[in-house]
Structure 1
Amino acid sequence: MPAPDTVAPNTVPAPTPITSVEPVVLPAPERGDDLRVRVSAPVSGTGLPVIVLAHGFGKSMSSYDPLVDFWAAHGFVVIQPTFLDSRTLGLTPDDPRYPNIWRIRVQDVGRVLDELDHLLTAVPGLADRVDRDRTAVAGHSWGGQTVSMLLGARVLGPDGRPGPSHTDSRVKAGVLLATTGIGGDDLTPFAREHFSFMSPDFDELTTPTLVVAGDQDQSALSTRGPDWFTDVHHRSPGAQALLTLFGGEHMLGGIHAYDAEDTTDESPERVALVRRACWAYLRHALGIDDIAWRRVRAELAETTDPIGHIVDK
């Protein structure tokens, strides 16, 4: 990757060819299904930072190519576990594991971090090119709720007290994409009954984090409007910045797949902004360089008709 001072204004470095390996299988007998993981990385470069990307409900390690391809082509190793709610596994609500999937998801991300060295060996020579001290997490929708717990969020119990902390010191930064807000009366009766984990406490989320939300993301699980997805920014000390996408709905323009038919707000421009802004923010938060992040913010501020805006704390 070119040195930051060689990057032309308003551009990102030229992409590097990437390679992906899937599935890399981590045995997990107590889970009921082994943990299947995809590893994507640039074919060249050293000191590569890592992103563990958590998919939303029903998706899998094979989802989010518009993000993964860009991040890997621009210097990140991207690791994607497949959680038990993935449609590729076919679990139904009568499966005894179903009520605990949200907990198992958090455990799965922890297992990925525990087994990082093993996962990196799936790509020959990759282990020697990775900077393990620069590890970040990113998640969309339910995936955002999952990784937020490694960033410091906790789940409120029936007594209103925060549950156990799953903060992981190995995680140095995060990106939360369309991540649900607080619970209580802000949830519909259905959500309160069926999704107990959607009662977050963000007070201890201190890890540097970028929040991304669409200003048209109206959830059927909340009694509020799209601002519900900005709660983590307003209520956590670590959420340093909020990127709001104008016209963005829950898929944020289609970040989960190319040409996805289920994208209600399809917009290549939104996707391009999301993947570039997240890449730039993580380079900033991980101490690689600040140039790209400053540039994204300046461009949005100076454009006469922007597709989003960034608010910093």
Structure 2
Amino acid sequence: MTDCHASPSAPDADPTGTTMAASDAERAYNARAAVPDHPVIFARWASEAAAARADFTRSGRFRPAIVYGRRGDQVLDLVMPETRPVAGGGVPVPLLVFFHGGYWQAMSRESFTQLARGYAARGAAVALVDYTLAPATTVAGIVEEAREAVALLWRLAPALGLDRRRTVVAGHSAGGQIVGMLAATDWAARDPALAAAAPLIAGGVAISGVFDLEPLIATSINAKLGLDAAAARAVSPHRLAPQPCTRLVLAVGGDESSEFHRQSRDFGRRWRAAGARVDTIDLPGRHHMSAVEALGEDDHPLMRATLRLLGTDD
């Protein structure tokens, strides 16, 4: 039996990496420039999410703006499944926790509520998390907020009817980096109350993630992030060790830049060598924005893989 309380394995020595001209890095990582119709896509997401919130509210399954920290943006929405856990002795339900993208400086949870529909229909709860955006905080500060959100959900799980053993974190783009950082977190070191909770996270799903942040330093993306080499390395999951029993699913759109593909490929290879179980899902014909939509599409391989992590029949 695998010991999920064991010390994590250190990744292999870091390779030299890829050196890119600033102009090449800008083209590779500027996802909005690569998808000219992104304003139309964002408007559609907002409309779909509002409709989902209205439906969940009418059915009494929507719990908005749960506060998990001291800052104003530290809130999350919780969608409960269609079959609710029975209070006082019912079977607890799995939980999917979603972190949005936007390069740590844009977007919000309120554009992604529609992703919860398929999971709620299959007996899982879904939390959609907001966090303070740069430049009001740093990437390291955002990672700490994400940890606070997950820890609060773990503490509230019995009262909410959630299964502490079946919490899966998912994220898109910047949210993919957050997933990696959460999977590398030593929860027991943060809080002795979590010492017996290994693994606190049953799995992670990172879509179009950025796991090595150093290439972003030379891009316009860094104007609000303020990363230097040391800060970028500290928040790069690629340079950290996975916790024992880590299970990840990595997905990238087929039409995304070669750098997004390299990021997931190199990260997955490195963490597999360190003992993590890492699966990949192909998303052919999808660009950076449409890649995340696969997470909420019925019968899509990405949804099926996520449901398997949740331990829910797909």
Shift in Å at residue 225 of structure 1? 6.1
Number of the residue aligned with 1:61:
109
Alignment of 1:294-305 (within 5 A): none
CA distance in 1, matches of 2:69, 2:260: 41
Q: Which residue of the other structure, out of 246, 250, 253, is the alignment partner of 2:288? A: 250
Of 51, 58, 67, which aligns to 1:25?
A: 67
TM-score by length of structure 1 reads 0.61
Residues 214 and 249 in structure 1, CA contact (< 8 A), matched pair in contact too: yes
Deviations along 1:76-97, whole A, 9 cap, x unmatched? 1111221111xxxxx6x4xxx4
The match for 1:43 is 82
Q: Select the structure that is richer in helix.
A: 2
Q: Deviation at 1:217? A: 1.4
- SS state of the match for residue 138, structure 1? strand
Provide the C-alpha distance between the structure 2 equivalents of 1:174 and 1:55, rounded to a whole number of angstroms. 14
2:242 to 179, 199, 205: 205
Task: Provide the secondary structure at the position in 1 that maps to 2:111.
Answer: coil
How far apart are the structure 2 equivalents of 1:108 and 1:216?
32
The reply on whether 1:84 has 2:132 as its aligned counterpart is: yes
Aligned equivalents of 1:59, 1:192: Cα separation in 2: 16
Structure (1/2) with the larger strand percentage: 1
Match of residue 301 from structure 1? none
- Residue by residue over 1:248-286, the C-alpha shift from the partner in whole angstroms, topping out at 9 and shown as x without a partner, is 21113562xxxxxxxxxxxxxx56658843443234335
Q: Tell me, yes or no, if structure 1 residue 175 matches structure 2 residue 205.
A: yes
Among residues 127, 141, 157, which one is paired with 1:104 in the alignment? 141
State the alpha-carbon separation in 2 of the partners of residues 118 and 37 from structure 1: 15
Tell me the TM-score normalised to structure 2 length: 0.60
What's the counterpart of residue 133 of structure 1? 165
Q: Which has the higher contact order (CA 8 A, sep 6+)?
A: 2
Q: Where does structure 2 lack aligned partners over 5 or more consecutive residues?
A: 1-55, 85-90
Would the alpha carbon gap of residues 288 and 227 (structure 1) be closer, same or farther in structure 2, given more than 3 Å must change? same
Aligned counterparts, 1:145-160, within 5 A: 145-152=177-184
Using the aligned pairs only, state the percent identity: 22
| Distance in 2 between residues matched to 1:274 and 1:209, nearest whole Å | 20
- When the two chains are superposed, the root-mean-square deviation of aligned CA atoms in Å is 3.6
1:230 is aligned to 265
The alpha-carbon distance between structure 1 residues 119 and 104, as it changes in their structure 2 partners (threshold 3 A), is farther
- The aligned residue for residue 88 of structure 1 is none
Tell me the CA shift for residue 228 of structure 1.
3.1
Q: Deviations over 1:122-172 (max 9, x none)?
A: xxxx83632112111111111111121111189xxxxxxxxx999973112
- Cα gap change, 1:251 to 1:69, in 2 (>3 Å): same
SS of 2:279's equivalent in the other structure is strand
Q: How many residues align?
A: 228
CA offset at residue 113 of structure 1? 2.7
Alignment match, 1:116: 153
